[in-house]
Structure 1
Amino acid sequence: MLLAHALALAEARTFLAALADLATTQEGSRAYDHALHYLDSLHAGEIPGPTIGSPVVDLDTTYGLAVSAIEDLATHGVHPLQVELVLAMLEDARSLDAPA
């Protein structure tokens, strides 16, 4: 894995973990965790550490940063359909975490 790919993956993982922490429901938190585990499975154990980069501000901002980071993975060799699946999982998690 090249450095740029590792950084993109680390960012995506960081924002997904932050979303799981910021989630307002248990179902939402579990769904964000599920998306994170799926993203990890795509990289077969090659998992970089978290980044310190962008601060986590709020749920909406973090969601936007996560989407951007996940979309960026397509430019580093992750199959576009896998990227779309992770984005769909992220959207599902957001809908589960929406206030009732």
Structure 2
Amino acid sequence: MLLSHAVTLAEARSYVAALADNAHTFDASVEYEHVLLELDTIHGGEFPPLTEVLVDKRDVLYAVAEAAIEELVKHGVDGLQVELVLARLEDARALDRQ
């Protein structure tokens, strides 16, 4: 994994983890954790450490997580896998809004 790919993946994982930590419901938190598991599966269990997240506003966390996940395509991650992860992220967000 190249450094730029590792940085993008670390950012995606960090912001999704922050969403899980800040979720309003247990079900939403679990769904965000599923997003993390999918990201880890796509990368064969190889992942960089989490980075520091300096914001706790869920809209900002979501936007950064979404952008980082979308950017994974530029690093060779299959586009369909990325779309599936983004769909799961949106499902988690919908649960979190309830």
Task: Please state which band the TM-score falls in when normalised by the shorter chain.
Answer: over 0.9
Give the letter for the 2:7 counterpart: L
Deviating above 6 A after TM superposition, structure 1's stretches of 4 or more consecutive aligned residues are: none
Mapped pair 1:64 → 2:63: yes
Give TM-score, length-normalised by structure 2.
0.96
Give TM-score, length-normalised by structure 1.
0.94
Mapped pair 1:28 → 2:4: no
Task: Render the CA deviation track for 1:27-52: whole Å, top value 9, x for unaligned.
Answer: 00000000110110000121100122
**Which runs of no fewer than 5 residues in structure 2 stay unpaired?**
none
Residue matched to 2:93: 94
Contact kept in structure 1, 2:18 and 2:56, CA below 8 Å? no
> Once the two structures are aligned, what percentage of the paired residues are identical?
55
**Which runs of no fewer than 5 residues in structure 1 stay unpaired?**
none
Query: How many residues end up aligned between the 2 structures?
Result: 98
C-alpha separation in 2, matches of 1:75 and 1:27: 31
C-alpha separation in 1, matches of 2:61 and 2:25: 16
